[in-house]
């Protein structure tokens, strides 16, 4: 898997700037006293940096944006990148500045003159996240990546601050890799094997195969995968870094490819359904992060891995399946399969682990994209305290999230003539009725959030911290939630 760029933290050596190869990034803000590194570069380039910062173009930049001076006189460097970043920049502005460096970084070395900026670690974090590239399946010689250094006044202290961020970055990369992988590579078996390999990090990993799932009564989950050659599985990952308390549970939808089943999707855009395991990908990335940074919390991550294919053995519209809970479900639309997978895994998580709370993630509905676009994940919850804590963590990490309504009136749309419920309730309020369906498999006393990440898991264009493709949305937020709520 692609690894985050290794970043070296070192003390500034201003005398070496004239012969520094590759790219140099330096921080600036009009009307603020420039740093020693800026002043040295400015002298070497005969005032070019001062003129650039005084220009109308630089004045129009927002905090975190950048301007390049190509092949500057007096330097061996091929470019000086001037980052507009005030000394009192917030976390998101600093990460944005780092992302500008990461986006421009290539085969040449990059030196970032962060010097005494209090957000130097966040600059490094943004740089690492934006420098991600998924080129696993491209043939030919891989594009080389040059070394990256951050020149800071206190390298040891900044490195200590940056260390847990590096663990988060690796978790985000792991999620992005999973979501970006094609379905002929990331089968249910391959997915499970990648998760099992994380035992070397200290996670306890179990793989429940179809025979065990049948014994447990997971008829809803098994019904989704019965038309596929890939066997359905549930993978359980435990991180026991806390005391003797019950764990917090993360549950992910892992549909490695979704044709829609017998209710087959249109051909246009179906190739994007390789990302329908995005919820499971986020859970895996969070669990990797917790293990890498040795989190002092007990967390269990559970993912239901299936493939939804049309076949002579596939379930049909009108079939009735029985969930692990014992409720029966009339399958009106086989393309509303994710909720069937989650229903059984949610119930299993509660029965086995008695968690203090649960959050499930799923690329569940197109309806949430209609409601919120690609800027925000839809958040549904039965518990204000957990929901508000999650929303606070999302805001702190700059990951868009918006709470959506729930209510008993929506349950009327799920009534079935032949079973306890239907798996869909019509087009109107589709994201809400999906959440209402899931809520039936959550015990009243268990705090729970459902995150519909259909619009945020994968983007068609670049975002601030990621190139187009998988974003890894949610890894940063859930890691922060666990740190703030269970490790504080």
Percent helix / strand / coil, the chain, rounded to 5: 40, 20, 40
* Cα–Cα distance, 210 to 208 (Å, whole number): 7
**Whether the Cβ atoms of residue 116 and residue 152 lie closer than 8 Å to each other:** yes
pLDDT at residue 353, rounded to an integer: 98
Task: Give the contacts of 215 (CB within 8 A, at least 6 positions apart).
Answer: none
SS (H, E, C) 220-274: HHHHHHCCCCCCCEEEEEEEECCCCCCCEEEEEEEEEEECCCCCCCCCCCHHHHH
pLDDT at residue 1, rounded to an integer: 62
- φ, ψ for residue 403 (rounded to 5)? -75, 135
CA contacts within 13 A on the Cβ side of 13: 9
Task: Give the contacts of 123 (CB within 8 A, at least 6 positions apart).
Answer: 85, 94, 95, 97, 98, 101, 112, 114, 117, 150
- Residue 339 is among the residues annotated as catalytic for this protein: yes
- Residue 413 is among the residues annotated as catalytic for this protein: no
Task: Give the contacts of 366 (CB within 8 A, at least 6 positions apart).
Answer: 430, 454
Query: In the CATH hierarchy, which fold is given to the domain comprising 7-160?
Result: 3.40.220
40's tokens: 């040295």
Sheet holding 233-240, edge to edge: 204-208, 233-240, 298-308, 248-258, 357-362, 448-452, 377-381, 401-403
Residue extents of the structural domains in the chain: 7-160, 186-486
pLDDT at residue 142, rounded to an integer: 77
* Cα–Cα distance, 399 to 385 (Å, whole number): 19
Query: In the CATH hierarchy, which fold is given to the domain comprising 186-486?
Result: Aminopeptidase (3.40.630)
Give the SS3 label for residue 14.
helix
Task: Give per-residue burial for 197-208: e unless 16+ CB within 10 Å, then b.
Answer: ebeeeebebebb
pLDDT tens digits along 234-285: 999 999 999 899 999 999 999 999 999 999 999 999 999 999 999 999 999 9
Q: Going residue by residue through the chain (488 aa), what tens digit of pLDDT does each one get?
A: 668 899 999 999 999 999 999 999 999 999 999 999 999 999 999 999 999 999 999 999 999 999 999 999 999 999 999 999 999 999 999 999 999 999 999 999 999 999 999 999 999 999 999 999 999 999 887 778 999 999 999 999 999 999 999 999 999 999 999 999 999 999 999 999 999 999 999 999 999 999 999 999 999 999 999 999 999 999 999 999 998 999 999 999 999 999 999 999 999 999 999 999 999 999 999 999 999 999 999 999 999 999 999 999 999 999 999 999 999 999 999 999 999 999 999 999 999 999 999 999 999 999 999 999 999 999 999 999 999 999 999 999 999 999 999 999 999 999 999 999 999 999 999 999 999 999 999 999 999 999 999 999 999 999 999 999 999 999 999 999 999 999 97
Residue from 265, 322, 395, 403 carrying the catalytic annotation: 265
- Do 7-160 and 186-486 share a fold? no
Global pTM value: 0.97
* Cα–Cα distance, 380 to 410 (Å, whole number): 13
pLDDT tens digits along 341-362: 999 999 999 999 999 999 999 9
* Cα–Cα distance, 66 to 100 (Å, whole number): 7
* Cα–Cα distance, 406 to 403 (Å, whole number): 10
Give the SS3 label for residue 331.
coil
**Whether the Cβ atoms of residue 10 and residue 155 lie closer than 8 Å to each other:** yes
Report DSSP letters for 453-482, one per residue: -TTTSEESS--SSS-SEE--TTHHHHHHHH
């Amino acid at each position: 898997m692609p690894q985050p760029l290794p970043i070296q933290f070192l003390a500034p050596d201003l005398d070496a700037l004239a012969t520094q190869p590759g790219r140099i990034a330096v921080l600036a803000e009009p009307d603020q006293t420039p740093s020693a590194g800026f002043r040295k570069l400015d002298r070497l380039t005969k005032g070019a940096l001062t003129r650039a910062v005084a220009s109308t173009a630089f004045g129009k930049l927002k905090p975190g944006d950048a301007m390049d001076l190509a092949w500057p006189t007096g330097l061996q460097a091929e470019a000086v990148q001037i980052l507009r970043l005030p000394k009192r920049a917030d976390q998101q502005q600093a990460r944005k500045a780092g992302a500008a460096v990461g986006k421009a970084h290539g085969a040449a070395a990059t030196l970032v003159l962060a010097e005494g900026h209090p957000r130097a670690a966040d600059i490094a974090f943004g740089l690492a996240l934006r420098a991600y590239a998924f080129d696993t399946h491209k043939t030919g010689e891989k594009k080389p990546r040059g070394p990256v250094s951050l020149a800071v006044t206190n390298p040891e202290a900044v490195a200590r601050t940056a260390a847990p961020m590096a663990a988060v970055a690796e978790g985000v990369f792991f999620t992005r890799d999973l979501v970006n992988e094609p379905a002929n590579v990331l089968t249910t078996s391959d997915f499970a094997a990648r998760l099992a390999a994380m035992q070397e990090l200290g996670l306890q990993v179990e793989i429940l195969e179809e025979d065990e799932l049948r014994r447990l009564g997971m008829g809803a989950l098994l019904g989704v995968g019965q038309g596929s050659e890939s066997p359905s599985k549930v993978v359980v990952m435990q991180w026991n870094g806390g005391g003797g308390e019950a764990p917090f549970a993360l549950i992910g939808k892992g549909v490695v490819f979704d044709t829609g089943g017998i209710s087959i999707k249109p051909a246009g855009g179906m190739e994007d359904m390789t990302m329908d395991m995005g919820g499971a990908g986020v859970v895996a990335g969070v669990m990797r992060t917790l293990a890498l940074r040795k989190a002092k919390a007990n967390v269990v991550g559970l993912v239901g891995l299936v493939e939804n294919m049309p076949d002579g053995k596939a379930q049909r519209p009108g079939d009735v399946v029985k969930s692990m809970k014992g409720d029966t479900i009339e399958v009106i639309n086989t393309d509303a399969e994710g909720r069937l997978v989650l229903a059984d895994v949610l119930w299993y998580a509660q029965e086995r682990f008695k968690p203090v709370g649960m959050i499930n993630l799923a690329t569940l509905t197109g309806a949430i994209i209609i409601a919120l676009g690609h800027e925000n994940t839809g958040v549904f919850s039965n518990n204000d305290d957990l929901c508000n804590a999650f929303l606070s963590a999302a805001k702190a990490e700059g990951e868009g999230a918006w709470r959506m309504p729930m209510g008993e009136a929506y349950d009327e749309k799920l009534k079935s003539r032949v079973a306890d419920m239907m798996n869909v309730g019509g087009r109107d309020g589709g994201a809400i009725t999906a959440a209402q369906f899931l809520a039936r498999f959550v015990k009243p006393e268990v705090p729970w959030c459902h995150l519909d990440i259909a619009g945020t898991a994968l983007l068609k264009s670049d975002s601030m911290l990621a190139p187009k493709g998988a974003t890894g949305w949610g890894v940063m937020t859930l890691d922060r939630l666990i740190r703030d709520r269970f490790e504080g």
